[in-house]
Amino acid sequence: MKLLQPDTLIRNPSGLPIVASVVVNCSASRLWDMVGQFAGFDMFIPDLSHIEMMGSGVGALRTKFFRDGNCVVEQLNSRDEQAMHMTWTTIYNTLGVARLWAAIQVEAIEAERAEVMWTIIAEPTEEANEGFEQFVQGFASSALDNVRRMLS
């Protein structure tokens, strides 16, 4: 009998980062309170109907349910409350994404001005290659524009 070896389907994507960022007229802590909640992205992404969580903290899984019937399962890789940043990896989705890693971070500019930056490195499935980068860029930019409108 052959001895089975450890294996995994999860690996980091390769490719150029897609970055979306906005400056918001509010404190960095208020901005982080919105974008830094792994379970709360449905607050500023209207395409999401809801989010379900399994676990909490690093290693927790979130399932994002989209209004169009798609879903995405992601794992929280890191989160630093003081530095106001977190990273996550997509482990399952119905959107045509083969692999995805993302980070979100908030930095203060002034007392009542802060910037949020969302960085995504993703690889499409073969079928979803056409227009993939524009889709990802548009999705992240639209979400952060909503954040700016909600908090400014």
Closest CA to 132 of 121, 116, 142: 121
Residue 11's pLDDT band (cuts 50, 70, 90): confident
**Is 147's pLDDT higher than 80?**
yes
Residue 9's pLDDT band (cuts 50, 70, 90): confident
Residue 144 lies in a domain: yes
**% the chain with pLDDT above 70:** 99
CA distance 122 to 89: 10
**Full residue range of the structural domain in which residue 35 is found:** 18-151
Q: Is the dihedral of CA 91, 8, 103, 77 positive or negative?
A: positive
CA distance 133 to 14: 13
| pLDDT tens digits along 72-95 | 999 999 999 999 999 999 999 999
Number of domains in the chain: 1
Residue 82 CA: distances (Å) to CA of 2, 21, 22, 37: 48, 20, 20, 13
Residue 147 lies in a domain: yes
Residue 6 lies in a domain: no
52 or 6: which carries more pLDDT confidence?
A: 52
**Is 8's pLDDT higher than 90?**
no
Residue 2 lies in a domain: no
In the β-sheet with 97-110, what is the strand arrangement from edge to edge?
Answer: 18-24, 113-124, 97-110, 85-93, 71-80, 61-66, 48-54
| pLDDT tens digits along 21-71 | 999 999 999 999 999 999 999 999 999 999 999 999 999 999 999 999 999
Q: What is the CATH number of the domain that holds 76?
A: 3.30.530.20
In Å, how far from its chain's centre is CA 3?
38
**Is 127's pLDDT higher than 80?**
no
